[in-house]
Structure 1
């Protein structure tokens, strides 16, 4: 039985340090959305992968970073 729930992906993401590394090439918008979902518990200032996804989505106008909450 395959495990495809978001919780399983988040657990795998949080437990493997290499999954937090910055990407070799910029993300597409779709990839950035997926990274943001998997790294929901990460802080962008501590997770280079989430930071890269945040940058792509911000530049594409898909999200506006909070000015009151830490990233």
Structure 2
């Protein structure tokens, strides 16, 4: 069976409202990076999952939140 593509996960993320919920456990930085790719079309202000992933990456020093743009 072939590995599912990132596009398939993005489609699921956009279609399933439960996929936008905050995680039960904190993400690792690697997991957070993957969530950011899957939820690329989401706004962190509206998607709890992307917001949690972004927070992990900010704390890990991997990204800096923009101060002049909406999230």
TM over 0.5: yes
**Unaligned runs of at least 5 residues, structure 1:** none
Distance 1:7 1:70 in 2: 25
Indicate the residue corresponding to 2:24 in structure 1. 24
TM-score (norm 1): 0.91
1:22-64 CA distance string (max 9 Å, x none): 0111100000000000000000000000000000000010000
1:1-36 CA distance string (max 9 Å, x none): 646222211011110010000011110000000000
Where 1:44 maps in the other structure, the secondary structure is: coil
Offset of residue 68 of structure 1 = 2.3
Q: How many residues align?
A: 71
**Unaligned runs of at least 5 residues, structure 2:** none
Distance 2:28 2:19 in 1: 17
Distance 1:53 1:7 in 2: 19
TM-score (norm 2): 0.91
